[in-house]
Structure 1
């Protein structure tokens, strides 16, 4: 399965998230208005931002599927990362709104608790999002989609948020009225934390950042190939969900072109099989040059 097929399958997971979030958001906000639960309202607003974020991921996946053209010779894969960056800004805005509204409510002297219907609604939607999380995670692992894997992690955190909302509403039934706005505050903080994590990862990838430990694993894999005497340089960067690797290897100086090329084929095959990396640019130098340096 090539990267374009993976992106197409990733769209299916994005659609599942969008449908689930629209349903959960509408249900939570509607019940929150009826029951007066601030925690459930914050949870519903959280899901509304997830709708926008999932749509952004969907758009990014579709643009990323466009083939290379005259001014995009490497394709459009980074559109996937840019869409995640846009989604982080949307989540940041809503998270700030939820927090600023929840903090004053903590100091209000309430005498009534929200109807327990709000709690059961939160618990039911938590079960839905756990199901969406399992579906998207399995699909992400099968297609090697980093964007869909991040979306699955967001699905899971949303399920935990809804469980926290249930706890806040249930506690309010025992005259612990501050638990409901406290749950709303916690939801807001989780939204901000998720937005920051997505922003940090997206900017790290867009600036060609790459994990040092993962780079070491790639180097170790290449070093284990028969015929590779040394590696003098190795770099890697993300291109959407794909990884591009540039490496300089040293081989026996007496090898001919065909023998050297065979080593590169072994490297490419091992990288595809072990790390699911399809693009490796390999520069070959004779081992004696390394000694002279």
Structure 2
């Protein structure tokens, strides 16, 4: 069955992320230095790597949309998952960099009180990223793009990180300058945590992991057909933003080839309409 998704549409979200991160990273790095804010500066460095990660997502979505060829009979859909994997590794590298720098500052005990204006920069950045997250999250659901879903998670994490940076500057303003650096450590932890979650999701799908609860829901749908006497096996896998199923069902041996073929078509149509399953391979056995 043909896919109902539109991968190129997901590119809008990737382009929005790249553009937003490009602007915000420059602003936060500049103002972080000017206003002496470790947290805002850490947030800005995080955004610079988000640019690279978003470019990886963009490339992954572009390649995933390519048609099948002689060497890729199943298409290029897994490139979306690979893009999410690359993005997670980049995020881990930045998180570790920010963490080590912040810990060094804590150990050294050299704190500089940040300018309160840094809080304004961080807060405005948080509002912008919440907006980007809402857009990309909605678009990821519409297109079923796994790479864009990972990007949306990154957007949300960045919004929360900017909120943390805002609080860090405010704490410093109330004569607690060390809190700015402490929050920079927490920001680094959030970056690493989000990256690990994305990494685990990507590797789970690349190793053909599939949620058992989805398999159960597919089986329930198939068993609603009277002609299906038994669902003997269902195997599912993700190909990027596509779902592929291998199903074995038992039917009465008296069914004609045409009747069995029509039954398979009906099952495929039902799975596509109710569960957005792109491709179903059905093997029929007699009871």
1:137 matched to 2:137? The reply is: yes
**C-alpha separation in 2, matches of 1:242 and 1:44:** 35
**C-alpha separation in 2, matches of 1:5 and 1:261:** 25
**C-alpha separation in 2, matches of 1:4 and 1:115:** 51
Report runs of 4+ in structure 1 exceeding 3 Å deviation.
2-5, 107-112
2:106 corresponds to: 106
1:44 corresponds to: 44
Change in CA separation of 1:81 and 1:220 when aligned onto 2, cut-off 3 Å? same
Structure 1 residue 109: Cα displacement? 3.7
1:154-212: CA deviation from partner (whole Å, max 9, x where unpaired): 21111111001100110111111111001110111111111111111111111111112
Q: Confirm or deny: 8 A CA contact 2:140 2:148 kept in the other structure.
A: yes
Instruction: State the number of aligned residues.
Output: 286
What is the TM-score of this pair, normalised by structure 1? 0.94
Q: Confirm or deny: 8 A CA contact 1:110 1:177 kept in the other structure.
A: no
**C-alpha separation in 2, matches of 1:223 and 1:38:** 59
**C-alpha separation in 2, matches of 1:265 and 1:51:** 44
Which is further off, 148-157 or 50-59? 148-157
Which is further off, 143-152 or 177-186? 143-152
**TM alignment of 1:16-95, pairs within 5 A:** 16-95=16-95
Gaps of 5+ in 2: none
Q: Confirm or deny: 8 A CA contact 2:14 2:58 kept in the other structure.
A: yes
Please, what is the CA RMSD of the aligned residues?
1.4
What is the TM-score of this pair, normalised by structure 2? 0.96
**C-alpha separation in 1, matches of 2:45 and 2:253:** 64
Gaps of 5+ in 1: 288-293
1:290 corresponds to: none
1:159 matched to 2:159? The reply is: yes
**TM alignment of 1:1-293, pairs within 5 A:** 3=3, 6-110=6-110, 112-287=112-287
Q: Confirm or deny: 8 A CA contact 2:251 2:285 kept in the other structure.
A: yes
1:291 corresponds to: none
Which is further off, 111-120 or 127-136? 111-120
Q: Confirm or deny: 8 A CA contact 1:226 1:263 kept in the other structure.
A: no
Structure 1 residue 146: Cα displacement? 2.1
**C-alpha separation in 2, matches of 1:146 and 1:204:** 12
What SS does the aligned partner of 2:28 have? Answer: helix
**C-alpha separation in 1, matches of 2:109 and 2:172:** 13
Structure 1 residue 76: Cα displacement? 0.7
Which is further off, 39-48 or 136-145? 136-145
**C-alpha separation in 1, matches of 2:134 and 2:234:** 36
**C-alpha separation in 1, matches of 2:256 and 2:171:** 76
Which is further off, 70-79 or 223-232? 223-232
